[in-house]
Amino acid sequence: MPANDLHGVLAEELDEALSLLGDYRNETTPANVAEPFPSLLGLCEELCAEIQPQEPVRGFYHLACTGGTLMSKCLAALPNTILLSEIDPLSSLGRARPGKKPKFMPTDLLNALNHSTRAVDDNVKLGVFRAAIDSILSDLSKKGIKLVLRVHAHSQFCTSIEASSRPSVHDVLKSSFQLRPLVSVRHPLDSFLALRANEWEHFQPFCLEEYCRRTIEFLDFHSECEIVRYEDFVADPEKALEQMCSVLDLPFEPLVLDMFDAIQISGDSGRSGSLIKERPRRPVPQVIEDERTAGPYQALCARLDYEP
């Protein structure tokens, strides 16, 4: 039964019960006896007013250099939506190198824990993360605002750590909150060429075959999530954005495709521009060309329906 109908039925039954109690009091009790339930109806009304369905967290997952910033800007521009960009409470990429002074980040408790003089257990960091998301979600839900977390999956799947040695942000979120997840991908050859151009060599061996192996692992970790391809987004932005909004339960507004460039978020490492359009592939060095016959590359292209 809908909450409003339940509230109405409850109010009617309480009114009838209080009326009967009032008649009984007038007939059998002295006038100076206090009312037995003077605020029962008011208390019930307050409790009903506090009953609200829990607003879900929207998780948007992709690896670096896959066009995720462009799509995230469009999501951030949607009505009544807040997007937090490049989130991973267990990431090691933001830590200062040994002997270097940490960056000035006075509002970042997790960064402070990462640079504390004594090691702090990951469970503590995850507890801080969950508490922060819970507080943010509670406040935004009261205002009718949707929360999207753009997760920095590169920190787990494309660095020197073993991805399986820690929980994914997806697993952390779904264990504590209602979750609407979505994965975005790009042709692995184009994304690896972009990684190479940015010199983000955070794993070894830094080659196309290893990158594809890691991307497959990323997809396996998020196998329950729907996927949107970057190439489909740039080919038909309105259709793809509508699909994304449907999966994430966000208000679809095609006008954001004309204003996304006004949104400023972290991670804008690609070829910038105010138009959503397909970009020519970067030149492919011979050493990478030779890797296109490798098993992981062929398997990944087949899995995502890309031409190798």
For residue 271, is pLDDT > 60?
A: no
Rounded to 5°, the CA angle 23-29-31 comes to 90
Other CB atoms closer than 10 Å to residue 50's CB: what's the count? 7
Closest CA to 92 of 147, 149, 197, 162: 162
Other beta carbons within 10 angstroms of residue 233's beta carbon come to 22
- What whole-number distance in Å separates Cα of residue 305 and Cα of residue 49? 49
The confidence score (pLDDT) of residue 95 equals 79
For the chain, the domains span 3-50, 57-87+143-303
The predicted pLDDT at position 119 comes to: 85
pTM, full prediction:
0.81
Above 80 in pLDDT, residue 31? no
Q: What is the Cα–Cα distance from 1 to 243, expressed in whole angstroms?
A: 30
- The radius of gyration computed from the CA coordinates of the chain, to the nearest angstrom, equals 26
Residue 269 has pLDDT above 90, yes or no: no
Q: Does domain 57-87+143-303 have CATH number 3.40.50.300?
A: yes
Tell me the average pLDDT across 66-80.
96
| Per-residue model confidence as pLDDT tens digits over 210-248 | 999 999 999 999 999 999 999 999 999 999 999 999 999
Please give the residue that has the higher pLDDT: either 44 or 18. Answer: 18
Of the pLDDT bands very low, low, confident and very high (cuts 50, 70, 90), residue 114 is confident
Region 199-217: mean pLDDT is: 96
Query: Residue 205: is the preceding peptide bond cis (ω within 30°)?
Result: yes
Count of residues in the chain: 308
Q: How far is CA 274 from CA 86, 102, 301, in A?
A: 21, 34, 29
- Which range is least confidently modeled, 24-33, 48-57, 163-172? 24-33
